[in-house]
């Protein structure tokens, strides 16, 4: 198979695609040497991110987050439950991450993707429980898998919880909690909370996944980059720049402290961007 000439000038489109498929690592290294990636991004920049709140009208809180092509839809549904004996004041949150076969050509129906339970576990460790005896079911569906799944999932989960409005409930005669109707309803029932209220979040976690390859650090990988260069580092910081979680599941490249610190610095920058995007999405909602 002839290699393209040393000047790097690839004459026809067919050659580039073939080179990309047959020698992916070399293809990427030629780009990294110029401090750029095939989609034109500098090494430390993440892809365009958008958040849309309230994507699913039948859920109590929902959000659609897109990082580049990776799309995640998160929705929260609240149910009333009896609190446990040890913590009568605490509710509970159940997080479920799904990767339906539509998201990627490598996911087969009947066989859950390998990434799914890993991301589920990571999310459970990061998000803490809410108040009152509510059971919140947070379901995240991956609609398009193009790398950085955890980042997009966390972002959509956080945005959905941000958008969440706990429905108004009242205690009816049998002592059961019943969701009360919007338009007043019967006055015999004493409403427990008068109107829908938003969830108060203590501190909002944001994350950034980076790939380490030799001495390059690539922020926000696409699925192609993840497949070729396997060493991932995920850093989760909260809005006050405190470290919540650091996740490096093995990989060929060993990270020195300096590399980890660089990742954390990149994440800090990303947190500011994400905070701005979330605030814009939220104020966009409130104007309506």
Residue ranges in contact with another protein by CB under 8 A: 56-59, 62, 69, 71, 73, 75-77, 79, 96, 98, 100-105, 108-109, 137, 139, 141, 143-146, 223
DSSP-assigned beta bridge partners for residue 140: 74, 97
Task: For the CB of residue 260, give the shortest distance to another protein in the complex, in Å.
Answer: 31
Q: Which is nearer to another protein, 44 or 68 (CB)?
A: 68
Which of residues 136 and 281 has its CB atom nearest to another protein in the complex? 136
Extract the tokens encoding 101. 């076969």
Shortest distance (Å) from residue 251 CB to another protein: 24
Of 77 and 268, nearer to another protein (C-beta) is 77
Smallest gap from Cβ 76 to another protein, in A, equals: 8
Give yes or no for a contact between 260 and 246, defined as CB atoms under 8 angstroms apart.
yes
Checking 227-234 for CB contacts under 8 A at 24+ apart, the result is: 228/24, 228/25, 228/28, 229/25, 229/28, 231/255, 233/209, 233/259, 233/260, 233/263, 234/122, 234/150, 234/151, 234/207, 234/208, 234/209, 234/210
Cβ 141 to another protein shortest distance, Å: 6
**What is the C-alpha to C-alpha distance for residues 245 and 121, in angstroms, rounded to an integer?**
12
Comparison of 124 and 269: residue with beta carbon closer to another protein = 124
Q: What is the DSSP letter of 34?
A: T
Beta carbon nearer to another protein, 67 or 259: 67
**In contact, 140 and 149? CB cutoff 8 Å:** no
Cβ at position 63, least distance to another protein in Å: 12
């Amino acid at each position: 198979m002839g290699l393209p000439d040393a000047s790097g000038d690839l004459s026809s489109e067919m050659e580039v695609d073939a080179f990309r498929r047959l020698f992916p690592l070399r293809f990427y290294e030629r780009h990294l040497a110029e401090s750029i990636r095939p989609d034109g991004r500098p090494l430390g920049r993440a892809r365009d991110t958008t958040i849309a709140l309230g994507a699913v009208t039948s859920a109590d809180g929902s959000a659609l987050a897109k990082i580049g092509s990776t799309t995640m839809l998160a929705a929260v549904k609240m149910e009333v439950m009896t609190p446990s004996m040890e913590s009568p004041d605490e509710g509970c949150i159940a997080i479920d991450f799904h990767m339906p076969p539509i998201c990627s050509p490598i996911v087969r129906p009947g066989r859950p993707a390998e990434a799914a339970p890993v991301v589920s576990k990571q999310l459970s460790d990061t998000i803490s429980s809410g108040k009152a005896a509510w059971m919140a079911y947070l379901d995240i569906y991956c609609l398009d898998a193009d790398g950085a799944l955890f980042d997009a999932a966390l972002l959509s989960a956080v945005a959905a919880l941000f958008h969440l409005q706990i429905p108004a409930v009242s205690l009816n005669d049998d002592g059961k909690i019943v969701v009360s109707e919007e338009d007043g309803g019967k006055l015999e029932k004493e409403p427990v909370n008068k109107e829908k209220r938003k969830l108060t979040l203590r501190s909002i976690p944001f994350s950034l996944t980076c790939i380490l390859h030799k001495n390059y650090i690539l922020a926000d990988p696409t699925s192609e980059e993840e497949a070729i260069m396997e060493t991932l580092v995920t850093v989760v910081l909260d809005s006050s720049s405190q470290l919540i979680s650091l996740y490096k599941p093995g990989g060929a490249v060993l990270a020195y402290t300096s590399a980890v610190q660089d990742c954390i610095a990149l994440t800090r920058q990303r947190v500011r961007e994400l905070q701005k995007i979330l605030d814009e999405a939220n104020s966009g909602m409130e104007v309506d």
